[in-house]
Every structure is written in structure tokens, then in C-alpha cells.
Amino acid sequence: MTPKIDHIEITVADLDRAERFYDVLLPLLGFDLKDKGRGEFPAYEHVELDYGTADFSLGLVCPRPALREEAVCRRKPGALHHLAFRAESDAEVDRLYEQVRAIEGVTIVSPPGRYPEYTPDYYAFFFKDTEGIKLEIVHFERPAYY
């Protein structure tokens, strides 16, 4: 088997707010909003938005009502620490940074820079979405290290 992630679902505090953010972000990353779907499963208190592509889907899920007020803690066991999207080049990282920082509600954690503690050519920026979830746009020559 070739390792490949098929989909990731992230629980967000406010599905409507997150949808507005991801409707702007994800097209910058190659997602087409015409492929976005919505599923509602009342028996499970579950509403989900699915941003699909032929290679990967990102789902946003509402919280259970009893957990709605819990804060994001990326170091809590079982939590998503961060999610990184791969760019084709350092120049694409820079271009995406300019576009991402203009999205309403984004919090820039670190602007584009080199992170040699990961790999000598690791170039990335980090930001948080409207829900406090840490995201990353990165470029490095992965095949050179594996």
C-alpha cells in the first residue's frame, strides 16, 4: 500500500464561521467549491461540510452541543496539532501568504521563512483559522529526505 490520506474531518466551534473562512482559503489550495457537499445526521447531532477533490477531502464538522464551548487545544491527546498543505515552490508559499493574510479572520502565526530545524530547504508559513486551528503552507523537496 502507498501511504496516502484520503480525508480528514475537523470539528470546528462554529460551522457557519468556518465555512466562510474555508470557502476563501481552500480554492487558493486547489479545491473547487462546486465539489463542496453538506451532510446532516440529526440522530448523531452531526452536520458536516465536505470539500472534496479526486485526491483528498477535507471535512468540517459541527461540535456536539454539550462540547460547543470547549477551547481548541492542539496539545490535548487526540487533537489535531496542525494541518500542512504542500506548495509547489517557495515562490508559491510567498504568493499564498499574501492571499491568506487577506482572509477575514485569519491569524498569522509566522510569516514565510526557512525552518532548517526540519530540513535545510523547509520553507513555510503558519496561521490559524477562525476556529483557532493551526495551519501551514510548506515547500521542501520531500523525496530528497526519504
Distance (Å, rounded) from C-alpha 146 to C-alpha 139?
15
Percent of the chain surpassing pLDDT 90: 90
| Each residue's pLDDT tens digit, 91-125 | 999 999 999 999 999 999 999 999 999 999 999 99
Whether residue 71 has pLDDT greater than 90: no
CATH superfamily, region 7-65+80-145? 2,3-Dihydroxybiphenyl 1,2-Dioxygenase, domain 1 (3.10.180.10)
**Helices (H), strands (E): how many in the chain?**
2, 8
Predicted confidence at residue 139, as pLDDT, reads: 98
Indicate the pTM of the whole model.
Answer: 0.94
At 67, give phi and psi (nearest 5°): -110, 0
The kind and range of the H/E element at 132 are none
User: Where do the domains of the chain lie?
Assistant: 7-65+80-145
Handedness of CA 13, 68, 49, 4 (dihedral sign): positive
3-class state of residue 39 by DSSP: strand
Average pLDDT over residues 64-88: 92
Whether residue 130 has pLDDT greater than 90: yes
